[in-house]
């Protein structure tokens, strides 16, 4: 066991009134900002590089490297945009961070903006998080009044204006270029890349887009130094990570873990998820939000080589999608032995069909096609040939779209068939299974669509 994780992001979340500026400052808030403003922007970027921090929104790209790509043409403004459009099913850790400790994000935004040479920055918040928007706006107002935002911050000569922008409630706007399109007032369609945002982002200017957790992590990195931060975690998975734990577990919630924690310990220890509820056995886990491949119990607890599976980018991805998955955004969904993988997949497929922007034909047509085929399984009209058809459709989406939404829709389908093909076959061969699912839909007043 790794023991108790040293909390870096949620160390203050238990303190009453921590969302208020005076309470946050009483517990050391904005002291790191004072330290950062005395350093050079280049040295701050170097500390983030040395920390090994990887993007916490899902892609896991090295943050310092991303910052170093930012173009710096003379006379052209640069922007930092915080991606708070937390729309991945199963993920809710950014919401918790913004709700409980909004000034941690704001302090991270100011430090990161200073490091990047940005004088205007934005927090793009998922539209459904309206109450979070109000919390952030109040915190920003407090920061302006205290001289932490605006002109000549803390007498440093550095100016920064920070704005909160509500999103339109579209999953696609979690993709950084679609987010920028939406921020500019246009329809949230992903852009063709290159050029990448670091060269031509918001209003055609150099832009960095980072996730809420990523920006918040900059504060402890500058506080302790990049080298010290890199000692936490394992290998290239450095630092701590917020995990949104949900599903059939005894203790759902948001947990801050040290990367490298064994998956089995995370699921079964009382410190974290507390095991499977009602004494059931675990059947499968979606480890990083709905878009990552689902793994059965035997593969989520151990790698194909028989080693304990760890909560890290490398260990969860070990073996590729044949035997592995992804850490993704940290949306950790646990399923017990009574779960219907087919029914769960149908729910995911409906979501991705609804959220496709329709710009790419494979995604626009393929997501709808997959949903219709899964309707057939749920409604008892499927044949064994439909399993192969479903596999064929998902394979024609992956890697053939402008943005990763196509992969997000295809990977869960491929993994479900790869690891649970017998369940699809049971829906074809066992009428009792279909009757049970229809009964579930009637009880929950959900529509079963005839295909």
Model pLDDT for residues 388-429, shown as the tens digit of each residue: 999 999 999 999 999 999 999 999 999 999 999 999 999 999
Helix 341-355 to helix 431-443 angle (10° resolution) is 60
- Residue 305: pLDDT band by 50, 70, 90 thresholds? confident
Centre a 10 Å sphere on the Cβ of residue 448 and count the other Cβ atoms it contains. 14
CA distance 283 to 297: 5
What is the greatest pairwise CA distance in the chain? 73
Please report the pLDDT score of residue 304 as a whole number.
85
List the Cα angle 377/380/383 in 5-degree steps: 65
Token reading at 13: 């979340």
Centre a 10 Å sphere on the Cβ of residue 85 and count the other Cβ atoms it contains. 32
Please report the pLDDT score of residue 343 as a whole number.
95
Please report the pLDDT score of residue 432 as a whole number.
63
CA distance 226 to 228: 6
Please report the pLDDT score of residue 6 as a whole number.
82
Q: What is the mean pLDDT of the chain?
A: 93
Please report the pLDDT score of residue 71 as a whole number.
94
Please report the pLDDT score of residue 439 as a whole number.
53
Q: Which domains does the chain have, with CATH numbers?
A: 21-231 (3.40.50.11540), 237-336 (3.10.20.600), 341-443 (1.20.1440.230)
Q: What is the mean pLDDT of residues 229-249?
A: 97
Q: Which residue has the higher pLDDT, 58 or 302?
A: 302
Q: Where are the alpha helices (DSSP H) in 333-430?
A: 341-355, 361-379, 384-395, 405-429
| pTM reported for the whole predicted model | 0.92
Q: What is the mean pLDDT of residues 120-145?
A: 96
Please report the pLDDT score of residue 363 as a whole number.
95
Q: Which residue has the tokens 């979070």?
A: 132
Please report the pLDDT score of residue 64 as a whole number.
95
pLDDT at 433 over 80: no
């Amino acid at each position: 066991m790794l023991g108790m994780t040293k909390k870096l992001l949620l160390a203050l979340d238990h303190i009453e009134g921590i969302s208020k500026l005076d309470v946050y400052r009483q517990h050391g808030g904005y002291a790191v900002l004072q330290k950062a403003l005395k350093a050079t922007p280049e040295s701050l970027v170097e500390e983030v590089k040395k920390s090994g921090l990887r993007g916490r929104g899902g892609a896991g790209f090295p943050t310092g490297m991303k910052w170093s790509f930012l173009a710096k043409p003379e006379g052209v403004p640069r922007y930092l945009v915080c991606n708070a459009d937390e729309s991945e099913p199963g993920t809710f850790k950014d919401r918790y961070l913004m709700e409980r400790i909004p000034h941690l994000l704001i302090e991270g935004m100011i430090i990161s903006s200073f490091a990047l040479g940005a004088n205007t920055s934005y927090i793009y918040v998922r539209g459904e998080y309206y109450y979070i928007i109000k919390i952030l706006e109040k915190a920003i107002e407090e920061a302006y009044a205290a001289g932490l935002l605006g002109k000549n911050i803390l007498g440093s000569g550095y100016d920064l204006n920070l704005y909160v922008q509500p999103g339109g409630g579209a999953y696609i706007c979690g993709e950084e270029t679609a987010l920028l399109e939406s921020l500019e007032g246009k329809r949230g369609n992903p852009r063709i890349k290159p050029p990448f945002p670091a060269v031509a982002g918001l209003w055609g200017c150099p832009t960095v887009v980072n996730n809420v957790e990523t920006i918040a992590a900059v504060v402890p990195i500058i506080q302790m130094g990049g080298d010290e931060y890199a000692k936490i975690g394992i290998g290239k998975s450095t630092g701590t990570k917020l995990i949104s734990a949900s599903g059939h577990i005894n203790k759902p919630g948001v947990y801050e873990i040290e990367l490298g924690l064994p998956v089995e310990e995370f699921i079964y220890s009382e410190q974290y998820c507390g095991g499977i509820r009602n004494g059931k056995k675990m059947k499968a886990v979606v480890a990083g939000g709905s878009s990552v491949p689902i793994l059965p119990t035997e593969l989520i607890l151990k790698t194909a080589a028989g080693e304990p599976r760890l909560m890290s980018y490398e260990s969860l991805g070990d073996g590729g999608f044949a035997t592995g998955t992804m850490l993704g955004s940290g949306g950790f969904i646990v399923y017990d032995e009574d779960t219907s993988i087919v029914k769960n997949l149908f729910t995911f497929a409906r979501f991705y069909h609804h959220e496709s922007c329709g710009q790419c034909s494979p995604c626009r047509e393929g997501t709808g096609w997959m949903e219709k085929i899964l309707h057939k399984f749920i409604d008892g009209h499927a044949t064994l040939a439909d399993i192969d058809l479903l596999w064929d459709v998902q394979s024609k989406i992956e890697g053939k779209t402008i943005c990763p939404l196509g992969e997000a829709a295809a990977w869960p389908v491929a993994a479900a068939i790869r690891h649970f093909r017998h369940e699809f076959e049971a829906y074809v061969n066992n009428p009792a299974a279909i009757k049970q699912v229809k009964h579930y839909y009637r009880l929950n007043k959900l529509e079963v669509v005839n295909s």
